[in-house]
Amino acid sequence: MLVLAPSLPPQQILYPDFEKNGIQVFMKRDDLLHPIVSGNKWRKLKYVIEDAALNNKTHLVSFGGAYSNHLLALAAASASYGFKTTAFIRGEPVQNHMLGLCRTFGMQLHFVSRSAYLNKYQLYEDFASKNESTYFIDEGGRGVLAAKGCEEILHGTTGYTHVVCAVGTGTTLAGLTKAAAEFNMKAEGICVLKGAEDMIHEVELLVGEKATIHHQFHRGGYAKTDEELWRFIRLFAQKTGILLDQVYTAKMMMGLAMLIEQGYYPPNSRILAIHTGGLLGVLSEFGNT
Ligand SMILES: *Cc1c(COP(=O)(O)O)cnc(C)c1O
């Protein structure tokens, strides 16, 4: 069993850039749910792990890059439920703290070329034919069951007009979009990938609803950083005591600040931003700040 910290009520964020037209910004700290299985990665795994167990699968197999938050969350969560785990890692063999942590939790790692990685299903089929009771989990943990878990991010939250999250695969936004409709809120995603305009279709495939996605805040593309982004992270940490990661949550909060500044939100909006975690994967880069 994975033991999680109790979900805390959202905290108000007092940050100068957000103070406009009576708008209030709050943050739900899903990054505090668990030190390793942080934020939305647990939400995405919850029903997937349950499904694997129901189907008597004992070996979870997934995919990702060498800094995948998803793979580390999977390794740690699976260990607490007694599953074996195997991951296919895209690219040349490398070593870093994330992969070291994955191994520490018992995950077997296989590095595969970028071209082989393109055909994940073939890799999985070959592996499954030689191993017992395997269960496929897509890259980034994306999928319908994952979106269902993300709906629960909004459990027990009322009184907000908008909920905002960062968008990678779109699974978290899909869950939020579905749940927000029930809570009479509007869900919005800040996309951290460049050229991902078809993301809206991904979300629709998952939950059958049209999402609202902002595509102008990726700052050059996935994991791309610049001095202005680092400056925002430092200022935000100093004014609020909350650390953002440079790949997802900092781009979300910076995008949110810009939208507020541009007068996008109606006066007196109460905006709930989701801290989806992701701090472990990126800590090494703070060495340069
Ligand atoms: C994976 C991740 C996301 C993206 O979630 P998707 O469901 O793939 O869109 C957002 N924030 C953090 C911190 C993440 O690790």
pLDDT tens digits, residue range 187-211?
Answer: 999 999 999 999 999 999 999 999 9
Q: How far is residue 116's CA from residue 86's CA, in Å, rounded to a whole number?
A: 16
31 CA distance to ligand 1 centroid (A)? 11
- Which pLDDT value is given to residue 224? 97
Instruction: Give the tens place of pLDDT for each residue, 85-99.
Output: 999 999 999 999 999
Q: What is the DSSP string of 109-165?
A: EEEE-HHHHH-HHHHHHHHHHHSSSEEE--GGG-SHHHHHHHHGGGTT--S-SEEEE
* The pLDDT of residue 177: 98
- The whole-number pLDDT of residue 275 equals 98
Q: What is the pLDDT of residue 287?
A: 82
Residues of CATH 3.40.50.1100 domain(s) within the chain?
Answer: 11-35+143-288, 40-141
CATH number of 40-141: 3.40.50.1100
Rg over alpha carbons for the chain, rounded to the nearest Å, is 19
- Ligand 1 center from residue 45 Cα (angstroms): 12
> What is the distance in A from the centroid of ligand 1 to the CA of 132?
30
Distance CA(83)–CA(53), nearest Å, equals 9
Number of neighbouring beta carbons within 10 Å of residue 122: 10
Using the mean position of ligand 1's atoms as its centre, give its distance from the Cα of residue 192 in Å.
Answer: 9
Question: Is 42:120 a contact under the CB 8 Å cutoff?
Answer: no
Q: In sequence order, what are the residues at sequence separation of 6 or more whose Cβ sits closer than 8 angstroms to the Cβ of residue 230?
A: 246, 289
Ligand 1 atom with the shortest distance to the CA of 168:
9
pLDDT at 65: 96
Give the residue whose CA is nearest to atom 14 of ligand 1: 278
173: CA distance to ligand 1 center in Å? 9
Residue 128: predicted pLDDT: 98
Regions of the chain where pLDDT drops below 70: none
Pick from 68, 69, 163 the residue to mutate for probing ligand 1's pocket: most ligand atoms within 8 Å of its CB.
69
The pLDDT value recorded for residue 9 is 94
Say yes or no: domain 11-35+143-288 is CATH 3.40.50.1100: yes
Residues whose beta carbon lies within 6 Å of some atom of ligand 1? 39-41, 69, 140, 166-173, 245, 248-249, 276-278
pLDDT number for residue 289: 76
pLDDT of residue 76: 98
